[in-house]
Structure 1
Amino acid sequence: MELISSGSKSPPKKRSSKPRAKIESLDRDILCTIFSSLGLFDLVRCSLVCKSWNATISRSKLLQKLYYKLQNDSRVISNTSSSSMRMYLEELAMNHHRLSLVEGRIDINQWNGHSALVDQCRMKRGLILTGVGDQVMRLWSLESYKCVEEYSIPSRVSLVDFDFDESKIVGLIGTRICIWRRNGAMSVFPPREGTFLKGLCMRYFDPEAVVGCEDGTARVFDMYSRQCSRIIRMHAAPVTCLSLSEDQLIISGSSSGSVTISGHSSDQRVAKLGSNNSTGIKTLCYNPRSYQVFAGTTAGYALCWELRTMKPLWETRVSPNVIYSLQHLQHDASTIVVGGIDGVLRVLDQNTGEVLSSCVTDISTVSSSSENKSPAIERKRGVRLSKDTLIDRIPRSTRPPITCLAVGMKKVVTTHHNKYIRLWKFD
């Protein structure tokens, strides 16, 4: 037998011809053992990975067992109320969301999304729609940051505002409405220009699009008949922003500082929300869960009203200048995210208006990634500002103006009147 000297190299090991085990090949009992060691939030996330995992978790009633364990409830598992567990899971998810926005680490992924300035974004179901600055809108995947669809805007007209759902994109272009089907077909109506005066904003809630106009009216368009079904006199000044509710209320803000409400069946405003602030309303959103209306003004004030009583709840100056956008997660009744010209991303308490956190980019942590080649992602770190921080002393490069934002679970997408799109991930 020959001995290999200590100085010589060992012969290379032969690769095993055995195929590697895949997670799909694991026995159901093994999966159950793994899943049973997880916390409730991670278990819910696992149930959303694929149908197989969802079926395993459902059949073994792991969620119900863990739910009652956390609730210290001795009732029989078979009597589990799906609605009570769903409410508990939703509350748990909202608590995670709130804690992440207020205290979590902030990672920022930024990419060059357009050839010209991009001012607006919308986010739904893992997709981001951006546009307005150039003659194209782009739909992005939140997972890969790749552009999955692109929509051209008819020449010689400007895109003012847009929204989208699973099947189509609805946009306000010039003085008309344009529909882009997700299969590529495009149509424009009304058939001729000048049907309404200059439109400044638009919101879409299937099957209707509502356009806020310079003459103070809101014009309601039916997406199927393609006709203007109602003209509602909302303000004496231009309508600058809109929000729609599921129960067919139209909420509008104006450059004069007033906020009014109308029902779809009325041709006049039915209520006016009072405020001590007379500066122009720049942005609006409505939370159907708490029946609260939120507004941002040109002077940096954030305002809140309770819709059932029509009374103001709070009014806070959160920014030294104009607030361009404020939004909240669909089922979240605790936090709202605000952005404006000073470039600071702020998280507010929905019930009090208190600023819970103020965030900017840490300029010292910038790296780029060429993964997936298109687009190239710049990876940055976000930092939270202390309450006594003087905003003017923070470099503008770390806080470009936030022209629009959209809120998802533990994430916020922002645009900045430049070519870049930013995804803020709170962990």
Structure 2
Amino acid sequence: MTGPSLADGRPPTRKRSGGERTTSINSLDHDILCVVFSFLGPFDLAHCSSVCKFWNKIVNKSKLLQDLYHRQRGSYAHSSDMPALSQKPLRYHMREWAIAHHQSSLRVGHVEVDQWKGHSIGVNQCRMKMSSILTGVGDKVMRLWSAESYKCLGEYAIPHAVSLIDYDFDESKIVGLIGTRIGIWRRGGQRSIFPSREGTFPKGLCLRYLDPEAVVGCEDGTVRVFDMYSRKCSRIIRMHSAPVTCLSLSGEQLIFSGSSLGSITISGLSSDERVATLRPNDRIGIKTLCFNPCSNLVFAGCASGYASCWDLRKMGVLWERRVSPNVLYSLGHMQYDTSTIVVGGIDGVLRVLDQSTGELVSSYVMDQPVSSASSSSGGIEKRNGRRLSEDARIDNIPRAARPPIMCLAVGMKKVVTTHNGKQIRLWKFH
């Protein structure tokens, strides 16, 4: 239950029973908080703006963001920058700066790897959104973690009679494919299962969720679209003649699906019309794909180690490169990033590619342990990441330093990976 608050968004000051007034940061007035916030960098300042309405108002209504932007760009003395700034909201320019910082960190930054035991048996899936990491598939529980403290924020049990196949989540719920049914876990802990209807869909292999619809890729080559509120299958779309192995959704009502035969089909989410079929030159099965709406590029990883990119504006292949000698299991990029994409696969090397050309920007493996520290999640082992040279022999690197990367998710200057083991790893780029 949400407590009372003042008109400006601040919680009221509480008093102890003895009459003694407690002092908290909420007791500080506007001017003092402005002084405190002025010492922060862009990422800490952005976090502070999300704490409460009062802090958000201070950050956005004062000149903190504007001063910080000019300080980071070194443009205090260049008044010519001001007209360009006024054309777009300042938050847009700060986001551009943050994305550039993220891109630079992936390309040339120092890497640290924090890992912790997250499950009792091996898991192979991870998702990361809004500084939260959700891991699962392998045991009978999904766990939600803080990407900052690694504290477990919640556990979500899987019904014993079924197995979890795939899942997705947002700020309020987790949607999972369990057997031939769909389950919904509220972040508060309540679970519900879609009613069982004979023949609703055959074996599902993958799932993606974009409120209010969950999309399931099936073994028979179809994609089934489910409405989260009516709890009914609203559409059945024939996408492939082979099993659908991976999915991606766009906010423009498009479904991207990859098949075990190596093709990618694009269809409308509402119209069911097939928009296009993309075929890489290498026809071995598509294992992973994603769509970048900012650049209109579609990326895919194949079982033969090839990564491919198509430009939807031209409906043609932009590039194809064999970036690994083995299977690519996962790839992804951060929202709004049009420069880099991160790829992982069976050889355990974390690779960063240029989105426009497919060229290898950098590649990493884990190094020897640095230290271990106790934490609420059961102990954090800290390692350094090691950047590989272009001519590095992967076979000479011990397998312990490069366990297979089964899944990855990309956030601001960080990448989370799962490896079909008990450990969860967070790669931090500085």
> Same fold, TM exceeding 0.5?
yes
Match of 1:388 in 2: 391
1:57–1:63 Cα contact (<8 Å) kept:
yes
1:179 and 2:175 equivalent?
Answer: no
Quote the residue 2:310 is aligned against.
305
- Letter aligned with residue 384 of structure 1: R
Of 383, 398, 402, 2:401 maps to 398
Which residue of the partner structure matches residue 115 of structure 1? Answer: 120
What whole-Å deviation, never above 9, does each CA across 1:32-75 have from its counterpart, x for those lacking one?
56766777667656655666655444444233345467452358
| 419 and 230 in structure 1: CA distance in 2 versus 1, 3 angstrom threshold | same
The equivalent of 2:79 in structure 1 is 73
1:62 maps to amino acid = L
Q: SS at the partner of 1:64?
A: helix
Q: Distance in 2 between matches of 1:76 and 1:198?
A: 57
Distance apart, 1:82 and its partner CA: 7.3
Give the secondary structure class of the aligned counterpart of 2:88.
helix
Give the TM-score, by structure 2 length.
Answer: 0.87
Unaligned runs of 5+ in 1: 1-20
Q: Residue 233 of structure 1 contacts residue 269 of structure 1 at CA under 8 Å; is this kept in 2? A: no
Choose from 43, 63, 88 the match for 2:65: 63
Deviations 1:404-426 (A, max 9, x none): 00111001110000111011111
Partner of 1:256: 261
| Offset from partner CA, 1:283-303 (integer Å, 9 cap, x none) | 010001001100000001110
Q: How many residues align?
A: 406
CA separation of 1:346 and 1:28: change in aligned 2, threshold 3 A: same
* Bigger-Rg structure (1/2): 1
Give the TM-score taking structure 1 as reference length: 0.88
Q: What corresponds to 2:194 in structure 1?
A: 189
Change in Cα spacing, 1:183 to 1:41, as seen in structure 2 (3 Å) is: closer
Instruction: Please show how residues 263-342 of structure 1 align to structure 2 within 5 Å.
Output: 263-267=268-272, 269-342=274-347
d(CA) in 2 for partners of 1:352, 1:94: 19
Are residues 141 and 30 of structure 1, via their aligned partners in 2, closer, same or farther at CA, if it must alter by over 3 Å?
A: closer
2:202 & 2:374 partners in 1: Cα distance? 46
Structure 1 match to 2:416 = 413
Deviation at 1:251, TM superposition (A): 0.5
Distance 1:361 1:226, change over 3 A: same
Matched, 1:369 2:373: yes
| Contact in 1 for aligned 2:114/2:381 (Cα 8 Å) | yes
Residues 263-282 of structure 1: CA deviation (Å, up to 9, x unaligned): 02344533111321211100
Distance 1:300 1:213 in 2: 24
Question: 1:105–1:225: structure 2 CA closer, same or farther, 3 Å change rule?
Answer: same
1:92-171 equivalent positions in 2, closer than 5 A:
92-171=97-176
Compare 98-107 and 265-274 and name the one that shifted more. Answer: 265-274
| Aligned-pair Cα RMSD in Å | 2.7
Aligned partner of 1:89 in structure 2 is: 94
In the aligned structure 1, how far is the partner of 2:108 from the partner of 2:314? 33
Please tell me whether the aligned partners of residues 340 and 403 of structure 1 are also in contact (alpha carbons under 8 angstroms): yes
Q: How far apart in 2 are the matches of 1:179 and 1:274?
A: 34
Task: Answer whether contact 2:172 2:186 (CA < 8 A) is retained.
Answer: yes
User: Residue 14 of structure 2 aligns with which residue?
Assistant: none
> Counterparts of 1:326 and 1:193 in 2: how far apart (Å)?
35
In structure 2, stretches of 5+ residues that fail to align are 1-22
What residue identity is the alignment partner of 1:405? L
Change (3 A) 1:306 1:80: closer
Task: Give me the whole-angstrom Cα distance separating, in 1, the residues matched to 2:159 and 2:334.
Answer: 33
Of residues 348, 362, 384 in structure 2, which corresponds to 1:357?
362
| Contact 2:346-2:406 at 8 Å conserved across structures | yes
Query: What percentage of aligned pairs have identical amino acids?
Result: 67
SS at match of 1:270: strand
Are the aligned partners of 2:200 and 2:233 in contact in 1 as well (CA < 8 Å)? no
Contact preservation (8 Å) 1:64, 1:80: no
CA contact (8 A) 2:85 2:93 kept: no
